[in-house]
A and B are shown apart, each in its own frame.
Chain A
Amino acid sequence: MMELTLPGIVIGFGGGLITGGIAAGGGLPLDYVILATLGLGVPLAVLGAGYDGLLALGWIRLGGVAPAAVYWLLGFPIARLLHEIVLDLGSGRALALPEALAPFLAYQAILSLGYAIGFLWLHENLGGYWWLRIRDHNPVAARYVGQYTNQAAAMKHKKQKVKEQR
């Protein structure tokens, strides 16, 4: 199960690296850069792993847009809230969000759709390569690959059939 969570973890932590990179480029101190990276990267990575866990359990559909959108509607605002808390507390500042809690969460929730779609696209892309590598010893990965290859095989079969018809 653990290895199945790798795509979600990589994509989630990648989001943290973008944030940390921004802080580093801004010439902020190293401890702040680490806080910015881990503050967003760890929650997004944990949530990414959670997504893969639900996928493995069959609670959400492989490649489904709606389940991913709902998952990140809850997950993304939580990750951003933790990010702000870690940054403030880690820097020894009093906790102060950019705006009041309700509008802050609402804003992050609306933007979560963007994160969900980007996540899903990359997940389909990266996941495909990873599942192929581990499918020999991982039955869940083999199931995912099977779902895609069955469809690809069906398309190929159709192509073959129509070629004969031409």
Chain B
Amino acid sequence: MADVTVEREERVWHAGREEPMPIRELPDAPASIHILGPAMVLVALGVGLGETFLWPRLVLLFGPDIRWLFLIGVSLQTIVMLEMARYAMATGESIFFGAARIWRPIMWFFFVTAMLVYIWPGHISAGAIAFEEIFGVPWLISAIVGLILIGVVFSLAKYVYNLLENLLTFMIGVLVIGSTIIAAIVGTFGDLFLTLTGLFAFGYFPAEVMTATWFPVLVGSIAFAGPSGMQQMWYTLWLRDKGAGMGVHIPRIRGLIHADEEETMPSRGFMFDTENPAEMRKWKGWRRWVMVDAILLFFGITMLVTIVYTVLAQAATKIDPGVTDALRAGEEDAAIAGMAAAFASAGGALLGTMFFFFIALVGWKGSLGIFDAFARGQADMTHYFIPGMQRFNMSYIYFAFLWGVIAFGILILLFGPADGPTAVLDILAFLSTFAMGTYCGLLVLTNNMLLPKKIRPNIVISIVLGAGSLFYLGMLAYSLVRFGVVVG
């Protein structure tokens, strides 16, 4: 399916069904002094409700030993991340382009899934409700202002990615330091010890989990361990804008007021000469760079945040046992309010306020990242694969999607159900988890069929990805067939 030929005196790499990739030079990998790679953006986006609410809730209901499933979920996502990076850094293309090279309908599936799943502004409402608790500003107003603010800051930036990285770095820095200090004050070694040992209680599966009430919740929580839905796929677009690997050959997305300065977008990605030992040395440097990103930042921070919040939730239930009831009822807002109230009674009103503050921060930074990513992914597929769209600047297409989703979000917040129509909620939850199972399988195909032999993943990685695909799709199917419920 893939080979090197010389066409019109230019060496190209044939990969799949689309245009061949010209061979170009791979840049040097950055020195390790820059710790911040796009993994930070993925962490900032991925660390959200799963880590601060869903998993602490499962621990309180079923005990810390249930966390081995979290370890499996995050470990799998770390491998997925490294494989997404392999394709993006080797070609400068997004994984969506890779999907099109295999078979275009696979790419269109992701295009449609993103349109259906990510246009609803539900994710901003939890943060806005927490904001209302602190400042008394009606959540609808702060949610709408928050949405407009996202569009404005991206429009004014010179390079959208740089702004996104700076904003999220600051927010996550404050979030991590603040949460750590609070956990250091209210938690104990005992809480932490149980949380940590629970990660290795492989096979623990309480009978109550195997019910129509809790199994779908568990499947949803595993899918929400780390980045969920299509977030990993968008990571390939951030890598490209960061100039990682062959991404250096692709122009970056500019802010709206600088969009007319955009250079011509090539019609496909590029490949480097894998037969050249010097190029392979540089490739190894890039793999090391992304490995540090994946293991230290992505895996480390995701684990750390969820451990801190689990310890906090355990401390909250000791202070106020009523929190467990709110968690059991599954009322997200009530449970967050309960946890905040428990902290307030232990450490004063501001401790509760701090908790709300962090939830508000999680909500807003999540929306910031998701809107950017959604617009980026849709713009990429539109630009390359909708006939006639290549004459439009990629940055303009990006902003059309960004402001489109913001306008739609405001209309829905004002007049409709924020999470999407109730009738289709199950379909959306299904599609989100189904996309994860699908991209695991897709990565096996892209990285083994479209890349030169020397830079393909080894067989163990391919098997793990295949197993990951079966894991997500199997749990989804089992939940549907056995209990008639999608995911919780």
Contact = CB atoms under 8 A, between A and B. Distances in A.
A14 B178 CA distance: 9
Nearest to A157: B27
A18 B188 contact: no
Contacts of B333: none
Given A151-B33, A159-B248, A26 B350 contact: yes
Interface stretch (B97-105, B179-187, B396-404, B407-415): B179-187
B135 to A, nearest CB: 14
Interface residues of B, number: 57
From DSSP, what is the main secondary structure of chain A's interface residues? helix
B189 A111 contact: no
A25 to B, nearest CB: 2
B57 interface: no
A124 B172 CA distance: 13
A166 B249 contact: yes
Interface string B193-225: 000100000000000000000000000000000
Interface string B217-248: 00000000000000000000000000100001
B421 interface: no
A158 B27 contact: yes
A64 B31 CA distance: 11
A122 interface: yes
A5 interface: no
Nearest to B176: A118
Nearest to A24: B350
A37 interface: no
Contact of B349 (A25, A99, A113): A25
A154 interface: yes
B25 A165 contact: yes
A63 B169 CA distance: 14
A103 interface: yes
Interface in A1-25: 11, 14-15, 18-19, 21-25
Interface in B231-275: 243, 248-249, 263-264, 266
B416 interface: no
Contacts of A57: none
Contacts of B189: 99, 103-104, 106-107
A158 B248 contact: yes
A40 B184 CA distance: 12
B166 interface: yes
Contacts, number: 156
B300 A117 contact: yes
A86 interface: no
Nearest to B252: A159
Interface string B303-320: 011001000000000000
B422 interface: no
Given A98-B188, A108-B184, A158-B27, A121 B169 contact: yes
A61 B92 CA distance: 30
A159 B192 CA distance: 47
Contacts of A154: 28
B173 A125 contact: yes
Contacts of B183: 111, 114
Contacts of B347: 22-23, 26
B36 A19 contact: no
A58 B70 CA distance: 39
Contact of B170 (A23, A98, A125): A125
Contact of B190 (A65, A103, A114, A119): A103
Interface in A79-120: 80, 98-99, 103-104, 106-108, 110-111, 113-115, 117-120
A26 B351 contact: yes
Contacts of B32: 61, 63-64
B304 A21 contact: no
A104 B185 CA distance: 10
B138 interface: no
A150 to B, nearest CB: 9
Nearest to B171: A121
A40 B188 CA distance: 18
Contacts of A103: 188-190
A62 interface: yes
A137 interface: no
Contact of B177 (A14, A22, A64): A14
A99 B173 CA distance: 28
A117 B173 CA distance: 8
Contacts of A27: 348-349
B328 interface: no
Nearest to A102: B189
B36 A121 contact: yes
A74 interface: no
Interface in A106-162: 106-108, 110-111, 113-115, 117-122, 124-125, 147-148, 151, 154-155, 158-159, 161-162
Given A158-B27, A165-B25, A15 B177 contact: yes
Contact of B187 (A24, A25, A107): A107
A30 interface: no
Contact of B348 (A23, A62, A163): A23
B188 A120 contact: no
B2 to A, nearest CB: 22
Contacts of A148: 33-34
Given A18-B177, A118-B173, A163-B263, 5 more contacts: A14-B177, A23-B348, A26-B348, A115-B180, A118-B172
12 contacts: A15-B177, A62-B33, A80-B184, A99-B189, A103-B190, A107-B189, A107-B192, A111-B180, A114-B183, A115-B180, A122-B173, A158-B243
Interface of B: 24-25, 27-28, 30-36, 40, 166, 169-170, 172-185, 187-190, 192, 196, 243, 248-249, 263-264, 266, 292, 296-297, 300-301, 304-305, 308, 344, 347-351, 353-354
